[in-house]
Amino acid sequence: MEKICRAIKEDLQLFYDIPFDVKLKMEYQDPVFTISPYNELEELFEVKIYLRQRIRLIVEIEPQKYSASMMESINKADVGKRAVFLQYVELIRRKGAKIEFYINKQPRNVLDEQTWNEAWNSFRIRATQIIDEMTIDNLELELMIDWSRLAVGLLLSLLEIENKEEKQYFEGRVYQVTQNRYERNPVNRELCLSANGYSCKICGFNFEETYGEIGHEFIHVHHIEMVSSFGGEYCLDPVNDMIPVCPNCHAMLHRKTPPYMPEEIREIIKNMKMLGEES
């Protein structure tokens, strides 16, 4: 259990680039993990993951003591941020979990526009999932990591998170890939990968299959830019507008501006294969 605690902490820090505190407590026979970001984000929010009798997983997200600025930022969340938040909700539901929202102490439906028109003064988000007891021994760590990422991502999607300029360069200037802000955003990344997996959507390459443990969950994400001639606000859909790609395919996508479409690179690979087979 202590091992799971450390693993969650390391995973979240790596994934969201924010330091987290993870505590483990036993309630009767059941473990409870408490996850909270610290430093500048001290006591903003807390995620609690309960595993009851090894069959019921409960995830609770609540604001903490110094959450005033966070509530303000939630109330200011624009249409784009809300769309990403709702994608997280959908993803959680697709995993077979039930998710409930209590806003200003009332049960609310987040799909209802009215819920967003009122100022949120307090909230509690609760997700529950029934787990197959037979599979839990192998899945415990994976399950906890998956849910801690989802819960943190869900909340961060509404907040202004500082994006450290993460530079991704390939060897040599020619292959330099400048990732756009959507691709660097860990909240979008988590949503995209949680839905699409870790294999390249263009060539199928999977790092773990080739490199073993060190390749676990290594992949780039690419934002498919639609012809951006339309004005107004752009609502990013990380599940459909972003795809996991290996660094090679990613570099090829960005060989022109605007980038190639994924189908075009797939087509090129197919044609090259056919040429190779003919000769």
Q: Can you give the binding site for Zn ion, defined by CB under 5 A?
A: 200, 202-203, 205, 222, 246, 249
Three-state secondary structure call for residue 236: coil
Minimum distance from CB of 210 to Zn ion (Å)?
12
Residue closer to Zn ion, measured from CB, 23 or 181: 181
Give the list of residues 6+ apart from residue 236 with CB closer than 8 angstroms, or none.
Answer: 80, 83, 84, 182, 188, 223, 242
Q: Which residue has the tokens 């998170």?
A: 161
Paired residues of 199 in beta bridges = 206
Minimum distance from CB of 174 to Zn ion (Å)?
16
Residue closer to Zn ion, measured from CB, 137 or 165: 165
Cα distance between the two ends of the chain: 57
* Alpha carbon distance 5, 3 (integer Å): 5
Residue closer to Zn ion, measured from CB, 131 or 202: 202
Minimum distance from CB of 13 to Zn ion (Å)?
24
Residue closer to Zn ion, measured from CB, 45 or 260: 260
* Alpha carbon distance 231, 211 (integer Å): 44
Residue closer to Zn ion, measured from CB, 73 or 206: 206
How many Cβ atoms sit within 10 Å of the Cβ of residue 45? 22
Phi, psi at residue 198, to the nearest 5°? Answer: -115, 15
Q: Which residue has the tokens 């400048």?
A: 178
Minimum distance from CB of 221 to Zn ion (Å)?
8
Minimum distance from CB of 257 to Zn ion (Å)?
11
Residue closer to Zn ion, measured from CB, 77 or 243: 243
CB 89 within 8 A of CB 154: yes
Minimum distance from CB of 168 to Zn ion (Å)?
9
